[in-house]
Structure 1
Amino acid sequence: KQVKIPANPKISANISILYYLIFVSQFNSLSLFLLWAVCSKELKKKNYLLYGICFKVPRNKIKKENSKKERKGMRKLAADFPDEVLEHIFSYVKLHKERNNLSCVCKTWYKVERFSRQTVLIRNCYALLPQRLISRFPNLRSLTLKGRPRFYSVPPDWGGFVSPWIQHLAKDCPCLERLRLKRMVVSDRDLHLISHSFPNFRGLVLVDCHGFTTEGLASIASSCRLLEVLDLQGSEVEGNGGKWLTCFPESYKSLVSLNFTCLTGEVDLVSLERLVARSPNLRSLRLNKAVRFDMLHKILVQAPQLVELGIGSYVQIPLSESYVKLHNAVRECKSIRTLSGFLEVNSNCLPAIYPICSNLDFLDLSCASGIQGNQLLKLIHRCQSLRRLWILDSIGDKGLGLVSSTCKELEELRIFKSTLFGVARVGYSLITEQGLVAISMGCPKLHSLLYSCHRMTNAALIIVAKNCLKLTRFELYILDSSAPDHSTLRPLDEGFGAIVQSCKELRHLAIRGLLTDQVFLYIGMYAERLETFSVNSAQGSDKGMMYVLNGCRNLRKLEIRSCPFGNAALLGDASSYETIRLLLMSGCGITTLGGCMTLASKVPTLNVEVVNGRSRIEENPAECLAFEEIYIFQTLDGPRKDAPKSVWIL
């Protein structure tokens, strides 16, 4: 029977309904899931957050009539359920943020969540020690760990060593199955320890990591018999030997995902073909330049079940024998939904992949500088089901007009600067505000947009605000970071103000151009859910930053570049640093040593680092000494011990 939740739910009534459904259904998974969905939908209107079987009211929305005794009763009712019931319901909660919220309800939920949680995300490897993590979650199975911050001004030797983590995990967490590392220093010794310490290890993802060679990969391949995922996205791998693929045992058949696009050396093609042939569950394969055109069709014949394909070298003479073979192999790959790569390409051979274009959900051409002009337009015209598109700015306004008229289901669009990949801008058609307007009018489902352009206007941004109300991420990068409105030469305050006012779900924002304090006032007033914010070359004052810190209470990451913000902004509201995890101030030039020391003393949980300033502090430790680079982050276990000489920790 359908259960109707009353307009003003009573805790007692709902608890009785929940008891009924749980015990009558005898812990039926479908019943519990439907219960979750129905209650969440109805109670969302009343500003309640439903976690399994308890209604937790946000602190800033607790009604005055709810006495302390009533709230205590609500928590007691939540704690009365058996641990098995709670653990079963918690298993449906996948988001890390929601799992964190579950543990804050009461001590009982904290205990259940602690022992039932198997997946953990650590956004900063220096935020806590590995011993604390293992003690907190003894049944850890999957760990995502991030190291060096994604700021270009942070020196390469800043840190982010994974060795201490691997050593403690190997000793106290032998059940670990999956490890995802991002922007960290990984050595061959670490990979060797991973391969010999976790008998059920199934997945290794290294994103933008460095410090290891193909010998470390060989150790993983030879010892991890249950390995399902090996992803080296964007990592720097030393050594040109391609023999590591031969280290996979002949009995090894569990491979699901393999990505070695970043490798620059040769690859043992025979071993690769044999590995693909004996991997019936292979779903994702991304190749490097060493895998030539004539080998590609052999791989596709062996793995027609592929869902994600990354092409390395795509250079061949059209209508040749290899071209015809590839065309026939592609026609049999009807399950491919993601296409990327094309590191080397002859665009005249693109018709060979046309048969799979109509099924694509994700097309990544961010490294395909050789695909341009009419060949690029012909390719996009056949991708009518795209939901995600990554592309270079060489597409031009004309190409974006075609995207808006073709890709009506597009949800994510990222347009990168060609110079990021070493491609000269000479002869390329840079995009302008016209392409942005076309995308906003033709793609109503767009919720994530990264746009690199030559110029921008307030009028274009206002049109985007009216048409793209579902935006959760908006990043605008103008070639000239301090450029004003192209048509009126006025600041871009009103345009960005319209974005934050109309897009209520906006969580990630990056802005460039001529800006004043007015735009920061808009952000503080309307961007209540903002979590990450990046600004460059603003012309405001300390008040601008204070507007953001006081208004955006959910802010987690803040990046400030070349803005006239100083001590007043840094010390304006110390309570705001309770939620901010990362803060970078680069090129501001008026933040002093005294201000940094005051902040470090006010908020003990902050780690305040001055980058490239140690020699200046040692020579002249005056409080009025100003710095260009300041990096601040939250930590539970004090300053780190492996800071390089270029970093001074306050």
Structure 2
Amino acid sequence: MRRMRGGGGDDRINTCLPEELIVEILRRLDSKPSHDACSLVSKRWLALERLSRTTLRIGATGSPDVYVNLLSRRFVNVRHVFVDERLNISLPVHLGSLARRRGKKSSSYNKSEEDGVETNSLSDAGMAALGEGFPKLEKLSLIWCSNVSSVGLTSLAEKCRLLKSLDLQGCYVGDQGVAAVGKCCKQLEDLNLQFCEGLTDACLVELASGVGKSLKSLGIAACVKITDVALEAVGLHCKSLESLLLDAESIHNKGVLAVVHGCPALKVLKLQCINVTDDVLIAVGTYCSSMEFLALYTFQRFTDKELRAIGSGCKKLKNLTLSDCSFLSDKALESIAIGCKELTHLEVNGCHNIGTLGLESIGKSCPRLTELALLYCQRIGNFALSEIGRGCKFLQALHLVDCSSIGDEAICSIAKGCRNLKKLHIRRCYEIGNKGVVAIGEHCRSLTDLSLRFCDRVGDEALIAVSQCSSLQYLNVSGCHQIGDAGLIAIARGCAELTYLDVSVLQNLGDMSLAELGEGCPNLKDIVLSHCRQITDVGLNHLVKNCTMLSSCHMVYCQGITSAGVATVVSSCPNIKKVLVEKWKVSQRTKRRAGSIISYLCVDL
């Protein structure tokens, strides 16, 4: 940020702007880089930026426990903390060395008992530090923090009584910790307990009685010890519950019915419970008139009967997912279409008895549909999508996977009728070729996201038409072996906003395409070139010369790319974060220079 200076060279931005105005400026920033840039203006701005920072993300690198201590001293007004053991976030050099020095003196710095190797995982000591350092905490996300136990969760709950959202996915906490949350955090609204395998009914009974008045969202998955008893407590105490995610084999009708009867405000219901039958969704249709989002996964006992109940009772339904529900037929979708006129999102996945007639009814009766996904739907044909094209003018996203009866006729209907289409993803639909994709390019000029994976009838003609969609940002044509230089050159010349490109397994693609992409697509950030045999170091050099924003490059099994090409990518792209390549193509010099960003598909051959 450029400083404002008077005639005498005085620093007016610091002397004239009141702190309240600077804080308001910082509050309106929407990204961490922007915050970081403002903190460099002056020491005053640095101090105010630290006061304004409300969100922190912590990975597994270094010692998270010590890192929490350091951050709590600098950012005292933090409300949201995300700790994800899957992330690998590097500390600044000075903080990393400080963490290591302090970690060696601290019992919170975890070591393996067998080999003394340091482990990068948040522990109970880190949880205690979170509670001490961030007493105003409102949202805490702990993803796969396997070293956190009930002791740490209890200590945090006792300090952070303003907590509203808690995500414990993959944490091995026990009943005592979750019960403590129910006792201390009376404002809790959202709780995620997915893959918390050690929990039993006891903790949910205590939790429900403690935060029943405030709890709005609950997620339970792979908690094998939780039964209907826990859900009965939820139904009894949590009258404000709006969202329930339930994936459990130990749950039967009794538990889910207790929630449906006891939680009239329920809006979101996601179920994967093999022991639940029609009675549950009949009750949903009867008692949950506010239902907006319904997802049913792997139900072998549900029939058309329960979808008729949903269509009759859930008039506000907007989002419906049906996955692997074998006994549902066209009549089920007809019931939804007739009753749920507000439907905007529909996904049908592997429901093999649903065919063309069911989807036709959606096209005729649901004009507000904006997203449609058809996965492994062999019985849905062209006429179904023709009806969608005629009736769903606001459709913005279409996903097709392994739909063998859908061809160019259907895609042409979508293109002519749904001109607001922004996302089209097609995979292994072998009847779709140039004709359909050309129609998309000619009619859907707002297209930003196109994926045509393994559609072997799609060639250069299709991409030449798509190049008219100047707003295109994402393109995946992996496995479309008829596409060559002509198609990619057209994209490079017409789609300057392209940021992601996957052209893997295109045997006819050469260096000329990469040279044109380098010239025409300066915003390109991610590119996948794997299995492109004709691409060489020459083309790669042309690409990276102008695509300085490039952050990831996959180029395994490209026989024309050598260690020199790999070195060119690493040295020419200042923002590069990941390079996927064969190990033998990486020179010792490249390893020393950028070893941390290089990944190998095969370590040794």
User: TM-score, with normalisation over the residues of structure 2?
Assistant: 0.68
* One-letter identity of the residue aligned with 2:490: Y
Contact 1:103/1:114 (CA < 8 Å) preserved in 2? no
**Residues 1:554 and 2:517 aligned together:** no
> Which 10-residue stretch deviates more, 271-280 or 569-578?
569-578
Residue 178 to residue 542, structure 1, CA distance change in 2 (3 Å): farther
Residue 585 to residue 441, structure 1, CA distance change in 2 (3 Å): same
Partner of 1:381: 364
SS of structure 2 residue aligned to 1:561: coil
**Residues 1:519 and 2:503 aligned together:** no
**Residues 1:639 and 2:596 aligned together:** yes
Residue 459 to residue 112, structure 1, CA distance change in 2 (3 Å): farther
Mapped to 2, the partners of 1:586 and 1:192 lie a distance apart of 45
Residue 584 to residue 147, structure 1, CA distance change in 2 (3 Å): farther
Mapped to 2, the partners of 1:398 and 1:220 lie a distance apart of 52
SS of structure 1 residue aligned to 2:496: coil
Mapped to 1, the partners of 2:198 and 2:33 lie a distance apart of 38
SS of structure 2 residue aligned to 1:107: coil
Residue 542 to residue 326, structure 1, CA distance change in 2 (3 Å): closer
Structure 2 unaligned residues grouped into runs of 5+: 89-118, 171-191
Cα root mean square deviation, aligned:
5.0
Contact 1:561/1:585 (CA < 8 Å) preserved in 2? yes
Q: Percent of pairs identical after alignment?
A: 20
Contact 1:348/1:375 (CA < 8 Å) preserved in 2? yes
Deviation of the 1:461 alpha carbon: 3.2
Between Structure 1 and Structure 2, the one with more strand by share is 1
**Residues 1:84 and 2:20 aligned together:** yes
Partner of 2:496: 528
Mapped to 2, the partners of 1:463 and 1:168 lie a distance apart of 57
**After superposition, where does 1:157-236 map in structure 2 within 5 Å?**
163=121, 171-172=129-130, 174=134, 177-178=138-139, 186=144, 196=154, 197=156, 199=160, 200-202=163-165, 204=167, 212=195, 214-215=197-198, 225=211, 228-230=216-218
Query: Residue 257 of structure 1: which of 243, 247, 267 is its match?
Result: 243
Mapped to 1, the partners of 2:471 and 2:169 lie a distance apart of 31
Structure 1 unaligned residues grouped into runs of 5+: 1-53, 57-67, 150-160, 419-427, 486-491
Contact 2:286/2:309 (CA < 8 Å) preserved in 1? no
* One-letter identity of the residue aligned with 2:360: L
Deviation of the 1:511 alpha carbon: 1.9
Partner of 2:453: 477
Contact 1:191/1:217 (CA < 8 Å) preserved in 2? no
Contact 1:314/1:346 (CA < 8 Å) preserved in 2? no
Mapped to 2, the partners of 1:210 and 1:162 lie a distance apart of 23
**Residues 1:448 and 2:434 aligned together:** no
Mapped to 1, the partners of 2:228 and 2:279 lie a distance apart of 20
Contact 1:316/1:349 (CA < 8 Å) preserved in 2? no
Partner of 1:293: 278
Contact 1:405/1:442 (CA < 8 Å) preserved in 2? yes
Partner of 2:409: 434
Mapped to 1, the partners of 2:330 and 2:436 lie a distance apart of 36
Mapped to 2, the partners of 1:162 and 1:355 lie a distance apart of 54
Residue 187 to residue 524, structure 1, CA distance change in 2 (3 Å): same
Query: Residue 347 of structure 1: which of 329, 336, 339 is its match?
Result: 329
Mapped to 2, the partners of 1:606 and 1:126 lie a distance apart of 21
Structure with more relative contact order (C-alpha pairs < 8 Å, separation 6 or more) = 1
Mapped to 2, the partners of 1:78 and 1:518 lie a distance apart of 56
**Residues 1:398 and 2:383 aligned together:** yes
Partner of 2:175: none
**Residues 1:141 and 2:80 aligned together:** yes
1:425-474, Cα deviation, whole Å (9 max, x unpaired): xxx52x22222211110012211221233145445433322211111211
Residue 332 to residue 86, structure 1, CA distance change in 2 (3 Å): farther
Deviation of the 1:415 alpha carbon: 1.4
**Residues 1:542 and 2:506 aligned together:** no
* One-letter identity of the residue aligned with 1:440: A
Tell me the matched-pair count.
515
Deviation of the 1:374 alpha carbon: 2.2
Mapped to 2, the partners of 1:192 and 1:247 lie a distance apart of 24
Deviation of the 1:285 alpha carbon: 0.9
Deviation of the 1:372 alpha carbon: 1.5
User: TM-score, with normalisation over the residues of structure 1?
Assistant: 0.64
